[in-house]
A and B are shown apart, each in its own frame.
Chain A
Amino acid sequence: MTDKPINAPTATLREAHGGGSATYVEQPNRLAGGLVDHGRALNFDFDGRVLQGHPGDTLASALLANGVRLVGRSFKYHRPRGIFTAGSEEPNALVELRRGAHQEPNTRATTVELFDGLEAGSQNYRGSLGFDLLAANDLFSSFLSAGFYYKTFMWPQAFWEKVYEPLIRNSAGLGRLSGEPDPDSYDKGFLHCDVLVIGAGPAGLSAALAAGRAGARVILADEDFRPGGRLNAETLEVDGMSGADWAERAVAELAAMDNVRLMTRTTVHGVFDHGIFGALERCTDHLPTSGGKPRQVLWRLYTKRAVLCAGATERPIAFGDNDRPGVMLAGAVRAYANRWAVTPGQRVAVFTNNDDGWRTAADLSARGVEVTAVVDPRNTQPRAEIPGAAIRMGDAVAGTRGRKGLKQIELASGGTIPADCLAVSGGWNPNVHLTCHQRGRPEWREDIAAFVPGKDLPVGLTVAGAANGSLSLAAALLDGETRAREAVESLGFKPAKHTPAKAEDEAVELTPFWHVKKGRARAWVDHQNDVTVKDVKLAHQEGFRAVEHLKRYTTLGMATDQGKTANVLGLAIMAECTGKSIPETGTTIFRPPYSPVPIGAFAGRSRGKDFRPFRLTPSHHWAEEQGAVFVETGAWLRAQWFPRPGETHWRQSVDREVEMTRGSVGICDVTTLGKVDIQGRDAAEFLNKVYINGFAKLAVGKTRYGLMLREDGMAMDDGTTARLGETHYVMTTTTANAGGVFRHLEFCRQCLWPDLDVHLISTTDGWAQYAVAGPNSRNLLRKIVDPEFDISNEAFPFMACAEITVCGGTPARLFRISFSGELAYEIAVPARYGDSMIRALMAAGEEFDVVPYGTEALGVMRIEKGHAAGNELTGQISAQNLGMGRMVSKKKDCIGNKLSERPEMNREDGLRMVGFRPVDRSRSLTAGAHFIPRGAVASMETDEGWMTSVAYSPELGHSIGLGFIKRGSERMGDIVRAVDLVGDSDIEVEIVSPHFVDPEGERLRV
């Protein structure tokens, strides 16, 4: 039946979906019972066929119920593949889920919760899933064996470009991206608990109950949508009831506890330092649409203790053609029958080296499924009576038959047995993954032939149940309880008295058996990356024997499933080749994430405009009204210029703003400058120590420019500091360095001079501050400043400052400082008045034709005045370079003064900041150009410095620049070349004073 096309209904999914009560479609492999709601049908679409399942199904269980066995093609050889497992370890059944922009490739069908209207498709084929054109790769498999990718590099280049690259690019990759932006939203969050329990199987539920009953704050996280783990998949009983019923009771008890948070659909994917865990909660993946809510939440869990109850993953046995659809893990076959009421086949054979595999035969047989054979390589007594089944002890499965799905198994002893499903068990591997995230190495346990967590566990984490190698149900229940009790006791809680849950200690005996040597067909180890037994042997033969080499050479365990079903098997085969034991051969270390986490979840809300917050000045919305063009400076948005109607080029706007400011008056928002309130009896001494120039004698009511160095003598920041009172100063910093300067000042205060009475607090956001510049600035301000404050040149000279009131009593601060070189002020009001203030200033300035100017005009005017700014203060520039070497006081201690004395920083031919103008005034200068002597070849040897800032000066009518050049201050009038090899320009420039406009500073003082 499996290869026959299903009698697909002719209706489309939408018709079936939207058409009220859907017609019942036969599910040939559906059994009775289980944990699905047989009373409700869910329609879904797989590769264009409408099928039905039930609430409680996964996509995988629903596909199996409908007899769909071929669900995809393998990565490299495009071999037909079916469903292999029943959980997140699935290597084969990767599908594309949903449509359009919502399409998500590489989704494991075994973890997708079925919902009405679900649309899924198989992936990784060309043509049709049934007849994949790329399956030809399989014929050339001898060229694509282990290390083929590396070997291609050893061939002639033409081979790479013409043969290999197109071949690899065409066939590589699994599912397809939609190519559209992800329409879903994602979120993050932070949770705290005393005890985190990872996994809600028998050990996890038992642990959560013990911790919860003791009163600890507990988070119980499980990747499944239904808590219970293997309890839901087995027929074993707990406390005299079915495992699933016990799990349901345990969950109900936990849900009633205020101190317990039960998180289903949540995968704990990583362990980080100091008890921090990462977890991904899938909030709406099981719903047709997200309804506008975040699809997934990436949680950061802060825990005091954690109990890992992640269970175990079954591993296969390798034999010829063991990847044929219908070959599955035995525990998964049992889970489909018991939990999902689905038999993966009508005639099931079992191949197991352990007692657990026998339970698959027994459970299926009890459910009326025909079991055709149990093959067990152990030469012992059969573990159960399976009616009608051929019992082959001491035998093995050596091969399979069937085109796109299993029809027969071949026995090592010869002969075939019919089977459309083969349940394979090679034993169980404890899920030790999270114990390795901090370099913990698992240890080999001979009795279960598996790795268990080593002794070097992440701090605060213990392991319980199958994850710790306690493979029986009774052991898991007890283990979970014990570990949780220990955890809560260590935190000072008293465990509650209660009777622990009881279960039978079922048999779990096993004899290691890794792969069947008989048979010529390829035996698959890593199904997702198409790694065979032969590949592992080849790696050994070619010398890639260390386990990390094996992994990289063959790509074993490097697919999206991280080799959950493959790694130990691969290792065992390598151990066979080397003749060493498995622990001697090694183990691979697992890294986060445990299972794939979408990039969208890591991004969270940080997309588009929400990538980071914006800082806006109080005049921002006013500036928007004026049509300002904004520029990002750090997080701030600042007005760059204010275009007027008719202006088509930014230079027109900027030139006008400069001309109108220098001609009458302009206003610029300088709120973004950092402001630090500095108070204390020792504030002056403190300033004296952090600035190179003296501040001890600054009078109350005065402002001073200060330059701050780093300890290595390089300029850190500059700005003005005003003395508002005996013990009260206000420092300004550059916009970009506000945070860093504050941190530095706190370092000086707390770590270097801890007994100074000085206190710092940022007030950057508290004040809306405007530069009012130009010959009419005082006239404008007279209309704003309350009349009792005299701001005449005599009463309020250059560099004065005062706390005043404006507009009839609103408190303000006025500073007579100038960055533009004009008669200028900066006036600050509490931020709440900022919007009102800009409007008042503009209204008051109307009669003077006031102009708002942006950061570009600000930049032009500061270049015209030769003020250094961010372009010059690069962190590699000293006070000497800036021409401020003499400001470094030798009479006092200050940060950076000692190392400023180093000879290298005081070379006579050191760089000096000077001005430049083009010899041909019509030429434009470019920042970044290097200065080369006339007639010299432009090279590192002839390089004399570089241009840092350039602007067109409307006042001078030509391009001007600032830059650093050797001995610059002694070379006024020299002609050099400004060479810009990137921009391909080479022009002659004259070295001039950096003070292009009003060099005597007369305008400042009128």
Chain B
Amino acid sequence: MSDLTLTPAPALGGYRERFEGVQLEELPNLAIVSIATPRGGEAEFAAAIEKAFGVAAPKPGHSSLSKDGRTRLVGMAPDQTFAVFTHDGPDARQVIDGALDGAGYTTDQTDVWVSLRIDGPRAHTALERICPIDLHPDAFPEGRAARTVMEHLGTIVLRDGADSFLLLSAHSSAESFLHAVETSIRNVT
């Protein structure tokens, strides 16, 4: 054993930038854990989610905020839910495992993604340049989520405020994704 220690580095180095009417920032401490519903264990899963978070598991394309406001559950697929919460450290999966007590199969997805938040009155206008999903508040109100593709890159978009969107895209292409979002903002501001 040596005295070597490892330091975490955010995918984009903790990027944060203000533009006219838009702010864009990386969320380096956003933990993401996927939870799969066991076949035949749907009832137990639902009960465990309710118990752990005080809300029902959301349907695909929807999300719900836990009762304590700390965890957002996002419905990703018929048997897949993401738990998204602020957490520092590489043990996010254990946090969810502890809460669910084996009622779902968990996988740490934190490092799979880069997380950006785009917000401000021009955010929607900027996203129109890359996002094929209809983000009009009537069609995509707060709490709605969609997994789609932006500039060739798979992206999860979640509205977490009137003018605020959470964007998750692949960690490996974080720089290309940031470039795509920045270009969109620059093109409309």
Interface residues of chain A, those whose CB is within 8 Å of chain B, are 185, 187-192, 217, 292-294, 297, 300, 302, 605, 610, 612-618, 635-636, 671, 677, 679-682, 727-728, 755-757, 759, 761-767, 782-784, 786-787, 806-808, 810-811, 829-837, 840, 843-844
Q: How far is it, in angstroms, between the C-alpha of A844 and the C-alpha of B36 when the chains are bound? A: 39
Residues of A within 8 A of B107 (CB): 677, 679, 761, 763
25 A-B pairs within 8 Å (CB atoms) are namely A187-B129, A192-B134, A192-B136, A217-B136, A217-B138, A292-B186, A293-B187, A671-B172, A677-B107, A680-B38, A681-B38, A761-B107, A763-B112, A766-B110, A766-B111, A782-B1, A783-B2, A807-B4, A810-B90, A829-B6, A831-B172, A832-B9, A835-B9, A836-B7, A836-B8
Q: How far is it, in angstroms, between the C-alpha of A756 and the C-alpha of B38 when the chains are bound? A: 10
Is B90 touching A765 in the complex (CB atoms < 8 A)?
A: no
The chain B residue sitting closest to A615, CB to CB, is B172
Is A302 touching B173 in the complex (CB atoms < 8 A)?
A: no
Is B153 touching A833 in the complex (CB atoms < 8 A)?
A: no
B86 proximal to A (CB < 8 A): no
B69 proximal to A (CB < 8 A): no
Give B155 Cβ to nearest chain A Cβ, in Å. 11
> For the complex, would chain B's binding face be called helix, strand, loop or mixed by DSSP majority?
loop
Is B1 touching A783 in the complex (CB atoms < 8 A)?
A: yes
The chain B residue sitting closest to A635, CB to CB, is B173
Is B128 touching A613 in the complex (CB atoms < 8 A)?
A: no
Is A765 touching B112 in the complex (CB atoms < 8 A)?
A: yes
Give B42 Cβ to nearest chain A Cβ, in Å. 11
Is B172 touching A765 in the complex (CB atoms < 8 A)?
A: yes
Residues of B within 8 A of A191 (CB): 128
The chain B residue sitting closest to A192, CB to CB, is B134
- Apart from A635-B173, A810-B5, A833-B6, 9 more pairs, CB < 8 Å: A190-B128, A190-B130, A613-B180, A615-B173, A615-B176, A759-B80, A787-B1, A830-B111, A833-B8
The chain B residue sitting closest to A765, CB to CB, is B171
Is A189 touching B177 in the complex (CB atoms < 8 A)?
A: no
Residues of B within 8 A of A190 (CB): 128-133
Give B63 Cβ to nearest chain A Cβ, in Å. 18
Residues of B within 8 A of A786 (CB): 1
Interface residues of chain B, those whose CB is within 8 Å of chain A, are 1-2, 4-11, 34, 36, 38-40, 79-80, 90-91, 105, 107-113, 128-134, 136, 138-139, 151-153, 170-177, 179-180, 183-184, 186-187
> For the complex, would chain A's binding face be called helix, strand, loop or mixed by DSSP majority?
mixed
Residues of A within 8 A of B175 (CB): 614, 616
Q: How far is it, in angstroms, between the C-alpha of A294 and the C-alpha of B183 when the chains are bound? A: 10
The chain B residue sitting closest to A784, CB to CB, is B4
Residues of B within 8 A of A187 (CB): 129, 183-184, 187
The chain A residue sitting closest to B41, CB to CB, is A757
Q: How far is it, in angstroms, between the C-alpha of A217 and the C-alpha of B135 when the chains are bound? A: 13
Is A831 touching B111 in the complex (CB atoms < 8 A)?
A: yes
Is A680 touching B39 in the complex (CB atoms < 8 A)?
A: yes
Q: How far is it, in angstroms, between the C-alpha of A831 and the C-alpha of B2 when the chains are bound? A: 22
Residues of A within 8 A of B136 (CB): 192, 217
- CB contact under 8 A between A757 and B40, given known A766-B108, A766-B171: yes
Is B187 touching A761 in the complex (CB atoms < 8 A)?
A: no
Q: How far is it, in angstroms, between the C-alpha of A605 and the C-alpha of B175 when the chains are bound? A: 16
Q: How far is it, in angstroms, between the C-alpha of A880 and the C-alpha of B8 when the chains are bound? A: 46
Q: How far is it, in angstroms, between the C-alpha of A191 and the C-alpha of B177 when the chains are bound? A: 21
Residues of B within 8 A of A756 (CB): 39
Residues of B within 8 A of A636 (CB): 172
Residues of B within 8 A of A829 (CB): 6
Residues of B within 8 A of A766 (CB): 108-112, 171
The chain A residue sitting closest to B7, CB to CB, is A836
Q: How far is it, in angstroms, between the C-alpha of A682 and the C-alpha of B38 when the chains are bound? A: 10
Residues of A within 8 A of B113 (CB): 765
Is A759 touching B152 in the complex (CB atoms < 8 A)?
A: no
Residues of A within 8 A of B176 (CB): 613-615
Give A415 Cβ to nearest chain B Cβ, in Å. 61
- CB contact under 8 A between A192 and B6, given known A605-B151, A613-B177, A786-B1: no
Q: How far is it, in angstroms, between the C-alpha of A881 and the C-alpha of B74 when the chains are bound? A: 46
Q: How far is it, in angstroms, between the C-alpha of A610 and the C-alpha of B177 when the chains are bound? A: 11
Is B9 touching A761 in the complex (CB atoms < 8 A)?
A: no
- CB contact under 8 A between A844 and B4, given known A757-B39, A810-B90: yes
- CB contact under 8 A between A294 and B108, given known A761-B36, A765-B172, A844-B2: no
Q: How far is it, in angstroms, between the C-alpha of A192 and the C-alpha of B134 when the chains are bound? A: 6
Q: How far is it, in angstroms, between the C-alpha of A806 and the C-alpha of B3 when the chains are bound? A: 11
Q: How far is it, in angstroms, between the C-alpha of A757 and the C-alpha of B45 when the chains are bound? A: 14
Is A832 touching B183 in the complex (CB atoms < 8 A)?
A: no
Q: How far is it, in angstroms, between the C-alpha of A834 and the C-alpha of B6 when the chains are bound? A: 9
Q: How far is it, in angstroms, between the C-alpha of A840 and the C-alpha of B4 when the chains are bound? A: 6
- CB contact under 8 A between A836 and B134, given known A766-B109, A830-B90: no
From the candidates A302, A757, A811, name the one contacting B38 in the complex (CB within 8 A): A757
The chain B residue sitting closest to A783, CB to CB, is B2
Give A725 Cβ to nearest chain B Cβ, in Å. 10
Q: How far is it, in angstroms, between the C-alpha of A837 and the C-alpha of B9 when the chains are bound? A: 11
From the candidates B6, B79, B105, B132, name the one contacting A840 in the complex (CB within 8 A): B6
Is B151 touching A761 in the complex (CB atoms < 8 A)?
A: no
Q: How far is it, in angstroms, between the C-alpha of A293 and the C-alpha of B179 when the chains are bound? A: 15
Is A836 touching B111 in the complex (CB atoms < 8 A)?
A: no
Q: How far is it, in angstroms, between the C-alpha of A616 and the C-alpha of B175 when the chains are bound? A: 8
Give B171 Cβ to nearest chain A Cβ, in Å. 4
Residues of B within 8 A of A618 (CB): 9
Is B187 touching A837 in the complex (CB atoms < 8 A)?
A: no
Is B39 touching A755 in the complex (CB atoms < 8 A)?
A: yes
Residues of A within 8 A of B187 (CB): 185, 187, 293-294
Is A610 touching B179 in the complex (CB atoms < 8 A)?
A: yes
Give A943 Cβ to nearest chain B Cβ, in Å. 40
Residues of A within 8 A of B110 (CB): 766, 830, 832
Q: How far is it, in angstroms, between the C-alpha of A636 and the C-alpha of B173 when the chains are bound? A: 9
Residues of A within 8 A of B133 (CB): 190
The 7 closest A-B pairs by CB, nearest first: A613-B176, A759-B36, A679-B105, A615-B172, A192-B134, A831-B111, A757-B39
Residues of B within 8 A of A787 (CB): 1
Is B129 touching A302 in the complex (CB atoms < 8 A)?
A: no
Is A727 touching B105 in the complex (CB atoms < 8 A)?
A: yes
Q: How far is it, in angstroms, between the C-alpha of A587 and the C-alpha of B186 when the chains are bound? A: 46
Q: How far is it, in angstroms, between the C-alpha of A759 and the C-alpha of B4 when the chains are bound? A: 36
The chain B residue sitting closest to A762, CB to CB, is B112
Is B128 touching A836 in the complex (CB atoms < 8 A)?
A: no
Best-buried of A612, A677, A784, A787 by chain B (most CB within 10 Å) = A677
Q: How far is it, in angstroms, between the C-alpha of A831 and the C-alpha of B115 when the chains are bound? A: 14
Q: How far is it, in angstroms, between the C-alpha of A727 and the C-alpha of B39 when the chains are bound? A: 13
Residues of B within 8 A of A614 (CB): 173, 175-176
Q: How far is it, in angstroms, between the C-alpha of A294 and the C-alpha of B107 when the chains are bound? A: 42
From the candidates B1, B38, B40, B170, name the one contacting A615 in the complex (CB within 8 A): B170
Give A196 Cβ to nearest chain B Cβ, in Å. 14
Is A765 touching B170 in the complex (CB atoms < 8 A)?
A: yes
Residues of A within 8 A of B8 (CB): 830, 832-833, 836
Give B43 Cβ to nearest chain A Cβ, in Å. 14
Residues of B within 8 A of A810 (CB): 5-6, 90
The chain B residue sitting closest to A675, CB to CB, is B112
Give B24 Cβ to nearest chain A Cβ, in Å. 17
The chain B residue sitting closest to A727, CB to CB, is B105
Is B109 touching A761 in the complex (CB atoms < 8 A)?
A: yes
Is B36 touching A679 in the complex (CB atoms < 8 A)?
A: yes
Is A831 touching B90 in the complex (CB atoms < 8 A)?
A: no
Q: How far is it, in angstroms, between the C-alpha of A127 and the C-alpha of B104 when the chains are bound? A: 80
Q: How far is it, in angstroms, between the C-alpha of A625 and the C-alpha of B86 when the chains are bound? A: 32
Is B6 touching A836 in the complex (CB atoms < 8 A)?
A: yes
Is B152 touching A613 in the complex (CB atoms < 8 A)?
A: yes
Q: How far is it, in angstroms, between the C-alpha of A293 and the C-alpha of B189 when the chains are bound? A: 9
Q: How far is it, in angstroms, between the C-alpha of A316 and the C-alpha of B91 when the chains are bound? A: 77
Best-buried of B9, B131, B186 by chain A (most CB within 10 Å) = B9
The chain B residue sitting closest to A617, CB to CB, is B172
From the candidates A185, A613, A843, name the one contacting B153 in the complex (CB within 8 A): A613
The chain A residue sitting closest to B106, CB to CB, is A679
From the candidates A727, A808, A831, name the one contacting B171 in the complex (CB within 8 A): A831
Residues of A within 8 A of B174 (CB): 616
